[in-house]
Amino acid sequence: MTAWHTPAGQLDPAKVRAAYPILATKPGGRPLHYLDSAATAQRPKPVIDAVSEFLLTGNANPHRGAYTLGSMATDAYEAARTRTATFLGVPATELVMLGSATEALNLVARSWGKGNLSRGDVVLVTEAEHHANLIPWQQVTREVDADLEFIPVDDVTGEILWDRLDGLLKLRPKIVAIGHVSNVLGSIAPLAQIAPQIHSVGGLLAVDGCQAVANMPVNILGTGADFYAFSAHKMGGLFSGGGLWARANLLEAMAPIETGGDMIREVRLRDATFAEGTQRFEAGTPDASGTVALAAACEFLDELGRQQIHDHEVRMLERVLRELPEALPDARILGPKNAKDRAGLVSFSSDLVHAHDLATILDRRGVAIRAGHHCAMPLHEQLELSATARVSVAPYTTDEDLDALFEGLRDARKIFER
């Protein structure tokens, strides 16, 4: 592990950066301080190479060809699924490979939801959910006339009020759908604590793991979740890729949503029977190169060490939380006060400088942050904010990146206090 670590075993971001050639480029002539990894992570060289390698030497349609190259592609695809499953701590037979977390979350709502919800049933989500874990539930509850209820957030910090869960569980929700790590608050949901509570009233727990899997050790089976969704591009894989883990007995009882090739058993002119297991949900040609890229991303994250990544990111976030109020005194920081209760990101707003102006001003120092509602408009509405600025970190984030961030914040303050 020492290639990426200090002698003391900590992640050394300066070493890690060598694996990310894009960080040495100068977009617009300025050094790149990429602090938007929560939107999409940068891809390390081994991932880019794995894609090229597959396309240059192993490309064929998996599951189909009765020839050597086809078997190679099948093997590569299935090995990549297995590698990803190992990374996530689940059996490969329960891991549905899809195009994105959005697809995965839609599958839960539209397949499990439509099959299991009816009039008056309750679905519980938090007020902080990403649109991808909210709108599908709005749609399905409306269709079947079920009720959508919310775990509220604190009006000021946005923190999810988990202590309200107990009361809400009296509604006996059939499913509780929540983010593992909030993509605005950075807070980590206390899955180990709430999963048994939810199960004790007969509910299921569906977890949107997009912001968790690359930023901290996650063993899905250990979380108590019944469904768990993730996106490859947040982990260093390609944009396309992601998946859904679900317990085998849940998958078995779910109907496919998308139909076509590769997910069938027998097709006649007027009807069709579907394949078993994960295959039933994977219509069309499998994305072999994307899955190979995802496996390479998992491999690389394991090489860095997920605990080490988390520790490094917490150190970076600690500094952000400490120095942000100095650089921009009116900053309203959302989410937990303590960096240890976070994974990967900090969002804030300022009355002095609007988030978009901030992002533009930071860009002039090459600092890339995200400004907006981060696909969580309802949360922003609850907080009476139209936009926030989000700083997100990664294994490759250095103190120099944060230096540039704070200099940029001081620029902004100077401009707007003028």
Partner 1 sequence: MGGVDDLYREQILEHHRAPHNFGALEQPSVSIDGRNPSCGDLVTMQLKLDDAGVITDVAFSGRGCAISQASASLLTDELRGKRADEITELGTPYVTELLGIEVGPARIHCALLGLETTQKAIATWRNKS
Ligand X SMILES: Cc1ncc(COP(=O)(O)O)c(C=O)c1O
Is residue 267 near ligand X by the rule CB under 6 A? no
Catalytic residue, from 135, 257, 375, 407: name it: 375
- Sign of the CA dihedral with 251 first, then 256, 258, and 260 last: positive
Closest CA to 157 of 117, 127, 192, 125: 127
Is residue 139 near its own copies by the rule CB under 8 A? yes
> Which does residue 386 touch among ligand X, its own copies, partner 1, none (CB within 5 to 8 A, set by kind)?
partner 1
Token output for 340:
């240890």
Is residue 247 near its own copies by the rule CB under 8 A? no
CB 4 within 8 A of CB 303: yes
Instruction: State which of positions 122-141 bind ligand X (CB under 6 A).
Output: 130, 132-133
- Paired strand residues for 150: 125
CB of 381 to ligand X, least distance (A): 17
Q: Which amino acid is at 268?
A: R
Torsion angle in degrees (nearest 10) through CA of 160, 244, 42, 374: -40
Q: Binding its own copies by CB under 8 A: which of 59, 86, 93, 386?
A: 59
- Sign of the CA dihedral with 370 first, then 183, 90, and 245 last: negative
194 vs 353 by CB, closer to ligand X: 194
Is residue 263 near ligand X by the rule CB under 6 A? no
Q: Classify the phi-psi angles of 130: left when phi > 0, otherwise alpha if psi is within -120 to 50, otherwise beta.
A: beta
CB 347 within 8 A of CB 36: no
Q: Binding its own copies by CB under 8 A: which of 16, 17, 34, 310?
A: 34
Distances (CA, A) of 210 to 243, 266, 338, 354: 10, 35, 21, 27
CB of 182 to ligand X, least distance (A): 7
Rounded Cα–Cα distance for residues 136 and 269 (Å): 32
Is residue 71 near partner 1 by the rule CB under 8 A? yes
Instruction: State which of positions 357-376 bind its own copies (CB under 8 A).
Output: 359-360, 362-363, 366-372, 375
265 vs 322 by CB, closer to partner 1: 265
Size, binding site for its own copies by CB under 8 A: 93
CB of 64 to ligand X, least distance (A): 9
Q: Classify the phi-psi angles of 343: left when phi > 0, otherwise alpha if psi is within -120 to 50, otherwise beta.
A: beta
Is residue 359 near ligand X by the rule CB under 6 A? no
CB of 54 to ligand X, least distance (A): 17
Contacts of residue 382, defined as CB under 8 A and 6 or more positions apart, other chains included, come to 127, 152, 153, 155, 158
Give catalytic status of residue 375 as yes or no.
yes
Is residue 283 near partner 1 by the rule CB under 8 A? no
CB 16 within 8 A of CB 349: no
Rounded Cα–Cα distance for residues 142 and 416 (Å): 45
CB of 227 to partner 1, least distance (A): 28
Location of structure tokens 């900090």: 346
Instruction: State which of positions 261-280 bind partner 1 (CB under 8 A).
Output: 264-266
Interface ranges with ligand X (CB under 6 A) = 100-102, 130, 132-133, 179, 183, 208, 210-211, 231, 233, 242, 261, 284-285, 375
Active site residues: 375
Interface ranges with partner 1 (CB under 8 A) = 63-68, 70-71, 74-75, 264-266, 354-357, 359-361, 363-364, 371-373, 377, 380, 385-387, 411, 415-416, 418
